[in-house]
Structure 1
Amino acid sequence: MADMKKFLCAALVLGLSASLAACTSTSPDASSGGGDVLVVAGFGAEYETLFQEHIAKPFTKKTGIQVKYRASGSGAEMYAAIRAANGEPGFDLAVMTYLELDQGQRDKLLAPVTAKQVPNMAHVPNKLLDHTHGVGAIQDVQQVSLMYSRKAFPKPPTSWDVMWDPKYRNGTLVFNPKNILGVYGLLNLADMGGGGVTNMGPGFKRNEELAKHALATPNTSAEAVPFMAKETATAFPYFDGRAAIYAKTNNYDFTIPREGTYAHLGSLGIPVGAEHKDAAYKFIDYWLSNEVQERWARAYNVGPAVTGLTFPADFAAKHITTPARLDEVKIADAATVNKHRTEWQQQWQETVR
């Protein structure tokens, strides 16, 4: 019987990633001498590195709870794993976005997350709490900035309209709405054309016009990096977190145009069938503490999810760090985005060829 169990687990490792969690222990780690274990699914690449250094390791040192991290793709992919497993995906906490929190509360597949379980939720502004739906927490705030070439723009551009300027449009990037950056790009264009999240026609019209001249139509934010390295891109939308990273290594900078922009909310959600909910609640509370919020914001180049923190003037000028700045930024209704996103992707494919 033991040999058969080993064979089945080996087969799962080789071929069935969705079932891998069943062969992955979430019980105390014998190699660490015991103690609780928290399995966290989140983003990969630099996010995983920063997470381990600034969140996971300090949390373990403080609580003794071991954090096992799984780089699992996008927020949508992580929620898909939760849904496919009917709330028992084999991990205890998922790093996602506020869009998945909306879907999770509708599907009843995410556990409650309120100030009762997570006391530091009391320090999160209502504008952010309104987008948690009682089933998660917002841990950071990004915004869609205008990334621009310092060579093309000796002074920062002040409007999204520069992307349509004949001098610059051949170097712009139009992101596919398969990536959430592409969704926000469409929303910005819709707003500029007199529409909005419930009237995307003006956005698609402007998007189609721009795509005829664009340098590329990337599917991911990472696909923009080679164009910055070659200095062929002129101006394009980009999240401020990654923009800050590449502004240090390339001849590019970023700004917020006068028309305003959209926020993107990082979130934490607990599957209803998570084995270690208590550890997950402690982890969320830790991440929302003032010390950790400030440390994470500086490390990941994002805005914090709690108020009352102080940042250097140059950092505050580029990111959402105050209640006043949070009030200025737009947050798209998650239910509307989730309802129409597939439709928008199809329409984008039809208009951008």
Structure 2
Amino acid sequence: MRNFAKTAILAALAWCATLGVGHTQTEDKSPLVLLSTGGPTDTITRDAIANAFTKETGIEVVIRPQSDAMISTVLAQKDNPQYDLILTGFDSYTYLQQNGALDKVDYGQIPNTANLYPLARSSHGIGTSFTGVTLVYNTDKIRTPPTSWADMWNPAYKGHVIIPVVPITYGLDFLVMAARTFGGDEHNIDVGFQKLKELAPNVSGIYETSSNAAQMFQLGGAWIAPWFAGRVPPTRAAGVPVAAAKLKEGQVVYITMLAPLKGKFSKKVARFMDMYLTKEAQVAFAKGIGQGPARTDVELPPELAATVPYGADQVKALIQPDWNVIVSKRNEWAERFQREIVPLVGKK
């Protein structure tokens, strides 16, 4: 009888364990590690999301900034990732997804995705915000706002133009828009390279990160650049008179993607992703770095709404290039940029 009772108790405990009843040891309380984009994005992520997540769950959030080299590391370690999630642009997201480095997302575990714009929904990640890549310019030096991507070639800006390196996101965006503005597109990129060759003598510098671009504007040498409009608010807050141009061809959409690494999607990760999409977080990113909400039901005050992509019509107007084509050509275009464009920069 004693052995029977002991066996019954052990069986009951095992059954409870499968249900998670009274068995907290199986709950994952290890730190959640986010590979993020750095700068003000990380500050807002920590203040508006990570701290609340830790308070609710008791799980520490570790935020690590990324670089282009880190993307290669993520891919190399895809079968044993050291991060849980990556926050990145749609180009890097596409590259990682194509190469099997991401986990599929279960939208049923992320309630705040119910009202996402279609543009923010993807199989292996969620779009958390939209921003335009446009021409950012110094309003003290350029009194007439640019109205077209073609204005980058204005000879009046010679010696004060900076451009992003290819293959960073903004560099790819600018190359594609140079092609599109003058009769080509991502399928006919030779047009873009030809126009960059023509622009190169006017260029005073090439930036590799947004921090580089911000510093160039702060030093006063940069008057105009293809750049992420989301960096305008913090740059202005630092005392630099910059603005984002409204261009007739439109702005290229920059979708900030939050995606789980391969084998990492879990209830813990799903909860963090859900908190990233709260209305409060969406408003915080709009206020802090000019990122428009990815949710259709977020309401912004008029003065804030005027500074970000907001509402169905504006979101629909954002340009979304064919990233499958771009990503497949990224390395080739990067080599061409170094070979054909860099040697011409600043040359008469």
Q: Considering the TM-score relative to the shorter chain, is it more than 0.5? A: yes
Instruction: Name the residue aligned to 1:11.
Output: none
Residue number in structure 2 paired with 1:121:
113
Whole-Å Cα distance in 1 between the matches of residues 333 and 112 of structure 2?
Answer: 37
The equivalences for 1:41-80 within 5 A come to 41-71=35-65, 73-74=66-67, 76-80=68-72
Report the secondary structure of 2:211's partner residue.
Answer: helix
Verify the 8 A CA contact 1:168 1:234 in the aligned structure 2.
yes
Q: Which amino acid aligns with 2:38?
A: G
Structure 1 position 272 matched with structure 2 position 266? no
Match status 1:187 vs 2:187? no
The answer to whether the 8 A contact 1:188-1:261 is kept is no
**Could you tell me which amino acid in structure 2 is paired with residue 266 of structure 1?**
T
Structure-1 separation of matches of 2:260 and 2:107: 15
In the other structure, the counterpart of 2:292 is: 303
**1:75-94 superposed matches below 5 A:** 76-94=68-86
Q: Which has the higher contact order (CA 8 A, sep 6+)?
A: 2
Counterparts of 2:29 and 2:75, CA distance in 1: 29
Alignment of 1:1-40 (within 5 A): 35=29, 37-40=31-34
Q: What is the aligned partner in structure 2 of residue 288 from structure 1?
A: 277
Q: How many Å apart are 1:212 and its aligned residue?
A: 1.4
Tell me, yes or no, if structure 1 residue 231 matches structure 2 residue 209. no
Q: Which has the larger radius of gyration?
A: 2
Letter in 1 for 2:166: P
Cα deviation for residue 311 of structure 1 reads 1.7
Aligned partner of residue 212 in structure 1, secondary structure = helix
- Letter matched to residue 163 of structure 2: V
Q: Which residue of 1 aligns with 2:243?
A: 253
Distance 1:95 1:78, change over 3 A: farther
Amino acid at match of 1:60: T
8 A contact 1:197–1:336 mirrored in 2? yes
Is the 1:78–1:94 contact (alpha carbons within 8 Å) kept by the matching residues of 2?
no
Among 196, 205, 215, the alignment partner of 1:207 is 196
Q: Which runs of 5+ in 1 are unaligned?
A: 1-27, 29-33
Shift of 1:45: 3.2
Is contact 2:232-2:289 (8 Å) kept?
no
How far does residue 229 in structure 1 lie from its aligned partner after superposition? 2.2
**1:186-213 deviation per Cα after TM superposition (whole angstroms, max 9, x unaligned):** 1111110111111111111111111112
The alignment-based identity, stated in percent, is 26
Partner Cα separation in structure 2 for residue 183 and residue 103 of structure 1: 13
TM-score by length of 1: 0.82
Residues 247 and 328 of structure 1: CA distance in aligned 2, closer, same or farther (over 3 Å): same
Q: TM-score, normalization: structure 2?
A: 0.84
CA contact (8 A) 1:88 1:271 kept: no
Per-residue CA deviations over 1:131-168 (Å, capped at 9, x if unaligned) read x2x11111121211211122222242222222212212
> Secondary structure, in 3 states, of the residue corresponding to 1:109?
coil
Q: CA deviation at 1:111?
A: 1.4
Question: For 2:244, what is the secondary structure of its paired residue?
Answer: strand
TM-aligned CA deviation for residue 175 of structure 1 = 1.7
Conserved in 1, the CA contact under 8 Å of 2:81 and 2:262? no
- Other-structure match for 1:96: 88
The root-mean-square deviation of aligned C-alpha atoms, in Å, is 2.1
The residue number in structure 2 matching 1:328 is 317
SS of 1:140's equivalent? strand
- For the pair 1:160 / 2:149, whether they are aligned, the reply is yes
Q: 1:125 to 1:165 in 2, by over 3 A?
A: same
Q: Judging changes above 3 Å, is the alpha-carbon distance between structure 1 residues 48 and 291 closer, same or farther for their aligned structure 2 residues?
A: closer
| Residue correspondences, number | 315
Question: What amino acid is aligned across from residue 250 of structure 1 in structure 2?
Answer: V
Query: How far, CA to CA, are the matches of 1:250 and 1:38 in structure 2?
Result: 36
**Aligned position for 1:10:** none
How far apart, in 2, do the equivalents of 1:59 and 1:224 lie?
32
Q: 1:198 aligned to 2:187?
A: yes
Could you tell me how far apart the structure 2 residues matched to 1:191 and 1:242 are? 24
Q: In the alignment, which residue of structure 1 is the partner of 2:346?
A: none
